Amino acid sequence: MSFLEIKGLHKHYGPVAALAGVDLDVASGSRTAIVGPSGCGKTTLLRLIAGFEAPDQGRIVLDGEVLANGGAAIPAHRRGIGVVAQDGALFPHLTISDNIGFGMGRGDDKRAERIVELAYIVGLDKAILKRRPHELSGGQQQRVALARAMAMKPRLMLLDEPFSALDTALRASMRKAVAELLEAAGITTILVTHDQAEALSFAAQVAVMRDGKFSQVGTPRDLYLKPKDRMIAEFLGDAIILPASISGGFANSPLGRIAVDTNDSRDVARIMLRPEQIGLKRTSREGMSGTPDMLFGEVTESEFAGSTCTIAVRLLNNFDPPDAAAIGNTPLILRKSGMDAPAVGEIVRLTVSGKAHVFV
Amino acid sequence: MQSAVDLGRAGLPSKMRRMSQRRAPPWLVTAAVLVALFALLPLAFIIWIAVQTGWETVSALVFRPRVGELLVNTTLLVLLTVPIAIILSVALAWLTERSDLPGARLWAWLCVAPLAIPAFVHSYAWITMVPGLHGLWAGVLVSVIAYFPFLYLPISAALRRLDPALEDAAAALGLGPWRIFWRVVMPQLRLAICGGSLLVGLHLLAEYGLYVFIRFDTFTTAIVDQFQSTFNGPAANMLAGVLVTCCFVLLGLEVLVRGEERYARVGSGAARSQQRTNLGRATIPSLALLVVTTLLALGVPFVTIGRWLIAGGAEVWRLDEIGLALGQTLFLALAGALLATVAAMPMAWISIRAPGPLQRLLEGCNYIVGSLPGVVIALALVTITVRIALPLYQTLFTILVAYALMFLPRALVSLRASIAQAPVELERAASSLGRRPLNALWSTTIRLSAPGAAAGMALVALGIMNELTATQMLAPNGTRTLAMAFWSYSGEIDYASAAPYAFIMVAMSLPLTWVLYVQSKRMAGR
């Protein structure tokens, strides 16, 4: 039985449906990420779980306790759910120490002790406790918000894009630190984000949301390699999508015979490869002759961006004449290491590793 | 009343200075310094008189039972009125801004509208409706009704600006609605409450007509009495000195209570818009509060004026007399507004385009002078003209100077806000597109700041139109403004004849409360 259970959640704002039937199960102590473009309803879902708003329809059950059922809902302050908002939402009129201790009883003798302990857990210096929120950097503010939410020992922690205000370098380290911290505390966590890399690296379960619904829920690896449709595939990363005919676990595509992840047989299908599945090997025009079963291409564009280099490869030969014209003219866009990427004009041999995913 | 423009202070820290460090032209600095020095004249005069009179006389005049009595009256008035006005304003602001009260927008405007009615007209309305009304509690009642919008405006603006994420965070931390209000919302209203209270307090100290009607003696009424009986004796001047001290005490208190806290939103990005609380069964009592407030603050004056107009019939509309008063009032109001705006211009320009320590000092001077009661400024100008420049006594020049001094802060705040809306980059862009400097200034900054400057002028004009004390003391012989005519008729208990003047003053002020209402919305970023 799952710890958090959401069934058929609906929420409308006037004529606009923010949530149109959301179901989700979250296991105790696990981390779940909800990812989607802005306006997809992910923040609304978080607000309903937190209890800031009541759903129009549907149920939210946490640890066997019904939090919301149709219009009836337990208010936020009786739910014991921690929330860390996008910019921390620290109280500007209180010191850091009072911010962290806000949810604790004021007469608590262990209060001061506990505040220091929480600050230590989230990696804040003790000296910072007497300061005000506006004197802190964005990363520190987020840590305070986290400590404040953890102070009440929540059953469930909701993170609403907490890393989006931070700069790139800090973001990854904060994400890792927060994940470890919550894991150690055994707190079930839901992260809402529009950044797919963040979602994939943070959680054990990822839900992709679009237009107020989950289009796919699964492990990060499943979602990345076996997306349900083209939109999900492209949302989670770069994708090469090709027409193919499939049979017996293989596809015949413009890139040749490629292993696929299904045993179905179809004459018309679409397969997806992640660009990193395609390997390049430098060769020359002479090297092309006499090797009919190999695939060659010419680098037509190259864009250097430091650690990576994005290159466009135009196919020089392919195995599937009927579609050749269309595909042959659309270059493959690949991201390679900046160190040894081939230059414009070079001839390369293409190889495919792993299996291609077939869209249903 | 040196009213609501100080809203800029009340509630909203002025942090919107677009710094583009640029040296101000020397002539502009000179002009600003001259204006500030001129503004300090009344204050310097009071000190000078005190020094000249000598300590013995001063202490004899100041430490006497009469002054103690006035001090007790004034203190009690402030101590009772301000807290009641705060509670009322917070309740009204919360209901109109944060609850699902039916017709919230209309109610919001109705909470500002009492400003259109001069305080002494409020008092006139009450005294003719309840003739027995007098003393401290009557003063508190009418004062709360006449001045609570000065608190309502900044508080509602602050409520509108609050980041709802903070309240969500507090709810997630286990706080119920009431505790959220006390621990999260109220602390953030502190700046607005401090600023608004200061404004109300200063008005309580400065108001004359209101308290004469209900026979309640404050320093201001005592000074005017003294002035009328002994003209220009040291007694009036010393009372003025005590009154100024009271003003400074209020200013100091506000600075102390306000503290150096920063209540702005932490973090970036736009705040989510707020949810309105469902009132449920509390809707009817809440509506009742608004209805009662509106009835007391707008209903009583309107009904009284209407009743007297009907009772007086066509007879009270002596059109020649009214026309003359209206013409004189409009002339004084417009000329005074123009002078105040022109005088404020160098200061406003410097404070936006070349801010620095000098500018802060000058602004501080203007601000302190702006908080002085009209009666003090008038008394100072009377004495100065009589002693030093007699030909200027009771001339148009002197009364306009008095208006400019009294209402300079109003003009300054509006001008500053409107110049700030025209970033210097636009001026530079216009120059880079080939406009000559003056042309560039004209087509960008002046064009963009004109509406704000006009609104500021309108507010100054409104203040002058309803000004009574200084006008009575300083205006040239034969001047009879609307307020003066109203005052003399009602002084003769000819309430019917006074009614048309009250009606015209209110009718002309009403549109301007709309300006205030819109300004306060804009300050909240809506």
- The CATH number linked to A219 is 3.40.50.300
Among the candidates A184, A204, A230, a domain finishes at: A230
| Mean per-residue pLDDT, B17-32 | 66
- Residue A84 DSSP code: E
Give the integer Cα–Cα distance in Å for A126 and A97.
9
Q: Determine, yes or no, domain membership for A53.
A: yes
Q: Which amino acid is at A65?
A: E
Angle between helices B319-353 and B26-53 (to 10 degrees): 110
Q: What pLDDT was estimated at residue B230?
A: 77
Q: A8: part of which helix (H) or strand (E)? A: strand A4-13
Q: Is B266–A133 a contact, with Cβ atoms under 8 angstroms apart?
A: yes
Residues A204 and A76 grouped into a single domain: yes
Q: Determine, yes or no, domain membership for A235.
A: no
Residues A190 and A244 grouped into a single domain: no
Q: Looking at beta carbons, which residues of chain A come within 8 Å of B168?
A: 47, 50, 52, 76, 83, 85, 89
Compute the nearest-CA separation of A149 from chain B (Å). 7
A201-255 pLDDT tens trace: 999 999 999 989 999 999 999 999 999 999 999 999 889 888 888 888 888 888 8
Residues 6+ apart with CB under 8 A from B228: none
Residues A179 and A46 grouped into a single domain: yes
Residues A149 and A251 grouped into a single domain: no
Lowest mean pLDDT among A92-96, A123-127, A289-293, A319-323: A319-323
Q: What pLDDT was estimated at residue B17?
A: 39
Q: Is B172–A50 a contact, with Cβ atoms under 8 angstroms apart?
A: yes
| Mean per-residue pLDDT, B7-35 | 59
Q: CATH no. for residue A352?
A: 2.40.50.100
Q: Is A93–B187 a contact, with Cβ atoms under 8 angstroms apart?
A: yes
Question: What whole-number percentage of chain B has pLDDT above 70?
Answer: 91
pTM: 0.79
B407-419 pLDDT tens trace: 888 888 778 877 8
How far, CA to CA in Å, does B254 sit from each of B198, B250, B409?
Answer: 6, 6, 18
Q: Determine, yes or no, domain membership for A193.
A: yes
Q: How many CA atoms lie within 13 A of B360 on its CB side?
A: 5
Flag whether residue B91 sits within 8 Å of chain A, measured between CB atoms. Answer: no
Q: Which amino acid is at B386?
A: V
Q: Is B168–A50 a contact, with Cβ atoms under 8 angstroms apart?
A: yes
Q: Looking at beta carbons, which residues of chain A come within 8 Å of B266?
A: 87-88, 90, 92, 133-134, 141
Residues A333 and A293 grouped into a single domain: yes
Query: Scanning every residue of chain A, which has its alpha carbon at the shortest distance from the alpha carbon of B179?
Result: A77
Residues A90 and A150 grouped into a single domain: yes
Handedness of CA A195, A196, A202, A206 (dihedral sign): positive
Q: Which amino acid is at B49?
A: I
Compute the nearest-CA separation of A336 from chain B (Å). 35
Q: Determine, yes or no, domain membership for A110.
A: yes
- Residue A56 DSSP code: S
Among the candidates A204, A230, A256, a domain finishes at: A230
Whether pLDDT at A17 is above 50 = yes
Residues A188 and A296 grouped into a single domain: no
Q: Looking at beta carbons, which residues of chain B come within 8 Å of A76?
A: 168, 171-172
Whether pLDDT at B1 is above 50 = no
Compute the nearest-CA separation of A147 from chain B (Å). 11
Whether pLDDT at A37 is above 50 = yes
Q: B482: part of which helix (H) or strand (E)? A: helix B482-491
- Name the pLDDT band for B268 (thresholds 50, 70, 90): very low
The strand pair at A250-253 and A72-73 is best described as unpaired
Q: What pLDDT was estimated at residue B4?
A: 39
Looking at the predicted complex, does its ipTM rise above 0.90?
A: no
What is the average pLDDT score of chain B? 83
Residues A57 and A197 grouped into a single domain: yes
The strand pair at A81-84 and A156-160 is best described as parallel
A131-172 pLDDT tens trace: 988 888 888 888 899 999 988 889 999 999 888 877 888 888
Q: Which amino acid is at B494?
A: D
Q: How many domains does chain A have?
A: 2
Q: What pLDDT was estimated at residue B326?
A: 92
Q: Determine, yes or no, domain membership for A120.
A: yes
Q: What pLDDT was estimated at residue B16?
A: 39
By Cβ distance, the residue of A50, A81, A141 closest to B267 is: A141
Among the candidates A230, A259, A287, a domain finishes at: A230
Q: Looking at beta carbons, which residues of chain A come within 8 Å of B185?
A: none
Compute the nearest-CA separation of A52 from chain B (Å). 7
A38-95 pLDDT tens trace: 888 898 999 999 988 889 999 999 999 999 998 888 888 888 899 998 888 888 888 8
Whether pLDDT at B370 is above 90 = no
Considering just the CA atoms, what is the radius of gyration of chain A in Å?
25
Q: What pLDDT was estimated at residue A109?
A: 80
Residues A35 and A184 grouped into a single domain: yes
- Name the pLDDT band for B250 (thresholds 50, 70, 90): confident
- Name the pLDDT band for A321 (thresholds 50, 70, 90): low
Q: Is B266–A85 a contact, with Cβ atoms under 8 angstroms apart?
A: no
Residues A289 and A265 grouped into a single domain: yes
In 10 A of CB A336, how many CB atoms?
A: 19
Tokens of B422: 């025209």
Whether the Cβ atoms of residue A171 and residue A203 lie closer than 8 Å to each other: no
Mutant choice from A87, A146, A156, A194 vs B, greatest count of B C-beta within 10 A: A87
Pick from B80-89, B118-127, B446-455 the range whose average pLDDT is largest. Answer: B80-89
Q: Is A53–B265 a contact, with Cβ atoms under 8 angstroms apart?
A: no
Q: Determine, yes or no, domain membership for A146.
A: yes
Q: Which amino acid is at B177?
A: P
Residues A156 and A216 grouped into a single domain: yes
Lowest mean pLDDT among A53-67, A285-299, B202-216, B284-298: A285-299
What is the average pLDDT score of chain A? 87
B469-515 pLDDT tens trace: 899 888 888 889 999 999 999 888 888 899 999 999 999 888 878 87
- Phi, psi (degrees; rounded to nearest 5) at B400: -65, -40
Give the integer Cα–Cα distance in Å for B138 and B121.
14
- Segments forming the whole domain that contains residue A253: 240-359
Q: Determine, yes or no, domain membership for A182.
A: yes
Q: Determine, yes or no, domain membership for A338.
A: yes
- Name the pLDDT band for B19 (thresholds 50, 70, 90): very low
| Mean per-residue pLDDT, B113-141 | 90
Residues A221 and A82 grouped into a single domain: yes
Q: What pLDDT was estimated at residue B164?
A: 84
Q: Is A93–B267 a contact, with Cβ atoms under 8 angstroms apart?
A: no
Whether pLDDT at B3 is above 70 = no
- Name the pLDDT band for B288 (thresholds 50, 70, 90): very high
Q: What pLDDT was estimated at residue B140?
A: 95
By Cβ distance, the residue of A51, A92, A103 closest to B173 is: A103
